[in-house]
Structure 1
């Protein structure tokens, strides 16, 4: 039972309209704008990093700015298709099998980060082979700016009032429009801070200060491992998807299970990069 003081300390949820712009029947949502903004800002920063030859092995960037421009379409398709397919497979398969039209209704569940990650990885592999670009360096370019997209995406989740956290009495708890009458952790903001802002700062320091891009695979491994750790941490505060619930006890979630292989892969990539560079 929450105390009166705790209830009085609950923050009001800022009721921001999920639709940013509406013209007749056409509606542009913050969620879609977040994806576009994340990809475009990431592309801009990646271009600046390519121009800084001192960051790369033998002072030679792994690809040209024109390659990066072409890659923009590939990675966007990989993120969107992988994210939606991943959500269906990992979280919503039974509902989609029962009602196939639900597969294209992105407002029913949305996207899965882990699916988007796999989709983007496949796009990078195909693009690197097509244009003879060193794969691990392409991974590193994308990994170094990917947290920007995660940051914007989680802020859009917050605006939508979705993916909220577990019931709590912390002073910054909020009552979400679709989360029932009880105050909850604003776990979307936790994810925006950890998986987005903090990871972006750490990876940029690795790339620019410690010159980690000179050891291809290091930034990629750091991104994957750090995301897994951040996601596992936030899962202790985030409410699991209602159709899945907890996989064990009242703590193990699908997000944790999917993040464990990422943690192992990230650590492996860092060790592999060290061995390859002889350091």
Structure 2
């Protein structure tokens, strides 16, 4: 092993085991992301200054929406993985579509599931779709960060071979003898920490007063972050590199960048931010 290469710290993929019941880190990442996202979303809805008045969504409505978006994430994520990443395998083994504990989720599918949940819930409850979309995507990076950490713990979705002199290059136990980029940590930083920070700053500057601005920014910035991360990530073995050296993750992210940019322009042109009356003003 090269002198500067880091040996991967092997983790037990099972976080908690009580008798025959085993809870994996990946499941905890989903649970933690949803719970922390719910808490953060409630704090945003309570802060009227961010909206220029009362938020268009009540706290009880947000609480009801959590179940909807959870189902959307799971169904969309699994469906996306089946269709985008391993369709031929699941056509031959359809029963394994339902074996979620074996892994296999797609962010892009999960995102589409969230979109469906937002639209359906808003139509049922007569809520503004763009504002609920803003809240949902504002908290999204929390789950993305935890999910990428779970990928790292599971030693999956590791990076491409790296220069052995790279101080943080790692030899993953199931990635062969070559030192590789810890691309899961790169993506945790880009899709989680950086994206959350940018959206949080935008919110503090009044972005929630322009419905669709946070939603569009999340979509566009995630697409750019994912494309960047894919430059260091080993493509899925059943797919490999596609046209011109692109990966499936890159191809699925390009439409996100375009759609996000369109939403940003529309949000910016549609409404001017509401003005919060100054204290003492009649």
Q: Select between 104-113 and 130-139 the one with higher mean Cα deviation.
A: 104-113
Contact 2:210 2:272 in 1 (8 A): no
Matches within 5 A, 1:54-69: 54-56=49-51, 58-69=52-63
Q: CA RMSD in A?
A: 1.2
Deviations 1:106-137 (A, max 9, x none): 35452100000000110000001111111100
The answer on whether the counterparts of 1:87 and 1:109 sit within 8 Å (CA) in structure 2 is no
CA distance in 2, matches of 1:241, 1:262: 20
* Matching of residue 247 in structure 1 with residue 245 in structure 2: no
Rounded Cα–Cα distance in structure 2 between residues aligned with 1:78 and 1:238: 26
Instruction: Find the aligned partners of 2:226 and 2:182 in 1 and give their Cα distance.
Output: 14
Q: 1:87 aligned to 2:57? A: no
The residue number in structure 1 matching 2:122 is 128
Paired residue total:
271
Equivalent in the alignment of 1:118: 112
Aligned counterpart, 1:183: 179
> Mean Cα displacement is larger for which, 168-177 or 236-245?
168-177
- 2:4 matched to 1:9? yes
State the TM-score, normalizing by the size of structure 1. Answer: 0.95
> Equivalent residue of 1:63, what SS?
coil
TM-score (structure 2 length as normaliser): 0.94
- In the alignment, what sits opposite 1:36? 31
Deviates more, 1:175-184 or 1:43-52: 175-184
Ranges in structure 1 where 5+ consecutive residues have no aligned partner? none
Secondary structure of the residue aligned to 1:22 is strand
Cα distance between partner residues in 1 of 2:61 and 2:28: 24
> Within 1, Cα distance between the matches of 2:9 and 2:271?
49
What is the CA deviation profile of residues 124-183 of structure 1, one whole-angstrom value per residue up to 9, with x for unaligned ones? 000011111111000000111100000000000000000000011222111111111111
Match of 1:266 in 2: 260
Does 2:225 align with 1:230? Answer: yes
